[in-house]
Structure formats: C-alpha cells, structure tokens
Chain A
C-alpha cells in the first residue's frame, strides 16, 4: 500500500504541471521587450499566464492534440536544397515581401512603398517613437479571447519578432504578396501582421510559401466602414511541418471581409478565424480548400471558426472543403454567434469532406448560438466519397481514371475556390491545384504501380 502510493507520487512529480509547460515554452521564446508594442506584449503575457497552454481535455482542443504547439522547440525538418518559391501568383503585378525563416529579406523584396497605403515592418516600427500600430497591435487578438481562449494567439502577440504593418487609405489594386522561404531546419517562426483598412479602402493580401519547421502566425485586420479586404493564403507544406495561425477581423458597417485558405499537407495544422461583425450591412466570408494524404507521414488539419454577428442585416459565409486520403484527419469547428439585436442576420456554414479511401476521418462540430429573433442561419456538414457515376461519365468520354479523379476533386473544391472574388487569382489557384493533384497522382502511381 505504502509502496503503491510512493510510486504514484513519483509519477506525479515526473509529469510537469501545465504551468511548467508554459514556463519551458516561454524560456526559449524571444522576449522583445521595448518599443511601441511593449505594453501590448506585457498584457499578452499576463493573459497567457492566466489561461495557460491548452491540454487534450480542453473542449476547444478535443479533436486536435495541442502537444506540438506546446513543445518548447519544434522537431527539425531538413530543408530541401532545391526548394523554390511556389509559382503561384509569380507573374502578376504585386508588391513582394520575402521572409526567410521569419526574417525579412530586404534584398529579395520590393521597396516598402505603394500608392494608397503605408507599409512598415514590425521590427522597424518598434524602434520609432510613435507609430499607428502601437494603438492597434494586440487589440483584436485580446478581444478575440472571449468567450473562448486562444493561448497561442496571446503567445504570438507576446513573442512575435517580425510582421508587416499595413495601413490602407485608398483603393489598392496591386496586391501585397508575402512570400515565405525556409532555409534552416528548425526555425520556429512567430509573425504578427496588422492591417488597418480605413473607411472605404480596399486591399488584397496574398501569402504563399513554406514557413519554418513550426509557425505561429497572427493577422489582425481592422476594417473600417465600407472597407474591403481580400485575403488569400496558399500553403503547400512539407509533410512534417506543424503550424498554427489565427486571423482576427473586426468588420465595421458596410465593410467586406473575405479570407480564403488553400492548404496542402503538413503534419499538424490549425487555422483559426475569429471574425467580429461589428457594424450593420457588413459581409464576412471565410473559406478553405484543404488537401492531405499521409503518403509521407501523418496529416491533420483543423479549421476553427468563430463568427460573431453584432450588426443588423449582415451576411456571413463559412465554406470549408477537405480532401482526405490514407488515414488523414480533417477537423472543422465552426460557430455562428448572433448577438441580441443583430436582426436580419444571414449566416451560412458548410463543411464537407471528400474521403478518397476508407481510412480517413473528418470530424465536424458546427454550432449556432442565436439571441435575435429575426435571423436566417443554417449549417450543413457532409462526408462522402468520389461519385462513381460522375467518374464513369468522365471515363466514358476518354478521360483516364487518374485525371477524372482530379477533375472530381476540383469539382468538390469549387465552392470554396469560388470565395476568391478575383477571377484571375481564382483561376491561378485552380490551375496550380490541378497541376499539384496531377503530380501527386503520378507520384502515387510510380510509388504504387498497379499490379
């Protein structure tokens, strides 16, 4: 009896408490101390210490193990020496900002100037006496911590070493394109971007590339009345990569927020969208097309969405499509919260998975919470396989099985891609996706030649 108790005690000592995990995590994080964001960072640290790191028992992490984000350092991933930038968007007119392992590469980037907007690096702004972002940095992130806490976003606000601060005053047609490059095996990247779109302005932000062995990205987007933001992120990850991202948006009256994510592969990825529709007649659309197989290792992709309607006559859309094979796991947690007084809300949420084999899993948790009586809100979630009739139809026209399957995967993803408003950008994404799918299909064939 005594011995039994002793063993239990020693086990309890061996397993560090949650507080210790945070201490270990913080010990190896950079602590950018002074500068315009100093107060926001201290505030974030205090909030983080209060909430602690998430555990498996947290309801919000029920489907996704936070372990790899809790670890003090990421597992290294060998850098492929022949890794090139994604050809996506490469021949459109845009302002290129290149980040290597989370550090800005001025030589590889375009000059930080443009018509209708002001752009600065977080690191440069920190050193100035005053900067507009000092008032904004961390604010939307902090607001987004209720009713659900998001510790990794607070951690990011505290520790982010770099980011882009963009203040938009005009209608900007030329997108800003953030291009990530990996050059070291074990980079643990924390980036924090702030976008402020002044009244009636319009802006497009593109993100592509490989970010570190582990990444933690926060985007705060404050859309003032009538502003329009188009955000497109396309991540083609190496298989062992782990990453977490948050986008916090506040959408004022008549403003329009659209965010689209294309995500391919990665061992453990979680993308949270937290949208606060604050004004009347505003629009917020979030969408993702996610593809994963586990041919080179496990794949787990989690989209977690929280949309709050506080204004009247606002529209929100959540369109999430996941293509899973070889035991891949897709997760979707999506919530629409309609606050009292948010009458005539039009909220819609759809999450769908296409399972290319019987081993894969899709876990969906749709939620509606409505405190207004004159609203239209609906959600749907489906899981299905390739439509055999459609496959036969395509093959009967001479399209080989492999290519027919690719066309049907693209067909499945089309509704998510349609959320990219700009037709030119949308077609580029679709073309790139098709190339990648064909490439993968051919690889599969070489690796598993038909008997």
Chain B
C-alpha cells in the first residue's frame, strides 16, 4: 500500500534536515504504529507524505499503491486515497461542517471521475456515520471545529475519514489531548474502518492508544530514521523503559 524508500527531507529554507532516510512499507490491511521521542521527525513524516508546504524532499521516494505521492498536490494525494488526521484539527469559522465534508467528498469523487453525491444521498450517509461516532446534528451544523472540545475535534477527524474512505490513513498523535473515554471512542471509530484494503499509520508518543488500536507492526523513529521495527511488544518495551535504552541499544 505505502512504500517509503530512503526518504530525506529538510525545512524548505534549508535550515534543518529532519528526515534522514526513512524506509517504511505498510502492506494493505495492516496497522503500523510509529513511536519516538519528541523531535524524532514523526509529524514531519506525516506532513511530507501529505504534501504540506515548507518541506523539501531531497532524496528518496514515497509511493501509494505504486503512485508517486511526492509529485502530487495535497488534494491529488487525498483523491488518490491518502488521509491525514491532524494532531490539531483546524478551526474554520463560518464554514459549516457539513458544507466542508460535502465539498471535500465531492471534490475527491470528481477528481476520480465519479459522480458527485446529491445533497440527499450525502446527508443520509453522513447522519448514519456520525451516529456511530456520537456526533450529534448540532456538531454537524456548526462551523468546522469551532467550539468543539478536544474529543469532538478528533471524533470529527474520524468522521471525515469515514466519509472520505481513504485507502491509507495517517493518524498524527490523535490521542493527544484526549481523556480515556474520548480515546476509546476515537479508537472504536478507527477500528470500525479497518478492512483488508485499508491501511493505517498511527503516530503516537504513548503505548496507551495502541491498547485500543492494535497494531500489526511497531516502528521506533529517532533522528529522522526508523531505528527499530517489531511487533506490538515493542510498544510495551517503550512504555516500560522509555526511549533511552532503545536509542543507546541502536547506538
């Protein structure tokens, strides 16, 4: 599904190299977790993959189902099936949540040569999916993320994911700012979307999210590289002894 090879990236102004040769392969249907200390390049990896301005890829490649992601505009990557759940979802006052969702969904459908959904069809689907995420009609009507609690913002991200049906989902520290109940709800939403032709890359500091979203593979990232890859037990190891041991072990 996602193939990242020897990816190097720096800040656009050339002031800092952040990714130093990331190699990562996420097969279809799998959930991979990336853990790592602050400043290890986890969030930058998610931004570079989704095409945010401000970064320059200097070497390497990133492919989604064989398509070169790095050549595409962010909206083209979305239409190709990539989705990034933001650590801090953006508030957009004056733009209704429903309007935004419908605009996004229809833009992607259009880009893929599919028919746009009518207002009625769209509403039916969105109401159904919102219900399972405990998102009430008031939240759907309000402006995007404006006045939402931390948990509501993250649930809203998962609703977008459910509506847009991406093939490759990246969750950037989706657990940050969530209490236990909110995290469980978000995890349930993600688990409901797991399927043999959809993959997940879960970026997190803490093992606790991985109690709820069980990963197939765990990667440890440090200094802009994947330094260790293992099974779910690797996350527990980090939880128990921190990153220090791992970093010194790899040397």
Contacts and interface: CB of A to CB of B under 8 A. Distances in A.
A397 interface: yes
A324 to B, nearest CB: 18
Contacts of B89: 393
Contacts of B107: 398-400, 403
Interface residues of A, number: 26
A59 interface: no
Given A393-B86, A396-B78, A398-B164, A415 B53 contact: no
Contact of B93 (A393, A398, A400, A414): A414
B53 A388 contact: yes
A235 B2 CA distance: 51
Contacts of A388: 53
Contacts of B53: 388, 392
A398 B78 contact: yes
Contacts of A403: 103, 107
B73 A392 contact: no
B94 A411 contact: yes
Nearest to B77: A396
A395 B74 contact: yes
Interface residues of B, number: 29
B163 to A, nearest CB: 10
Interface string B179-214: 000000000000000000000000000000000000
A10 interface: no
Interface in B49-80: 50-53, 73-75, 77-79
Nearest to B92: A411
B86 to A, nearest CB: 7
B94 A413 contact: yes
A414 B94 CA distance: 5
Given A388-B53, A392-B52, A392-B53, A397 B94 contact: no
B90 A390 contact: yes
B100 A396 contact: no
Nearest to A411: B94
Contacts of B78: 395-398
Contact of A408 (B51, B92, B143, B160): B92
Contacts of B217: none
Interface of B: 50-53, 73-75, 77-79, 83-84, 86, 89-90, 92-95, 100, 103-105, 107-108, 111, 143, 160, 164
Which 4 residue pairs of A and B lie closest in terms of their CB atoms, listed nearest first?
A: A414-B94, A398-B78, A398-B108, A395-B74
29 contacts: A390-B90, A390-B92, A392-B51, A392-B53, A392-B74, A394-B104, A395-B51, A396-B50, A396-B74, A396-B77, A396-B78, A396-B84, A397-B160, A397-B164, A398-B104, A398-B105, A398-B108, A399-B100, A400-B75, A407-B92, A407-B95, A407-B100, A407-B103, A408-B92, A410-B94, A412-B94, A414-B93, A414-B143, A415-B94
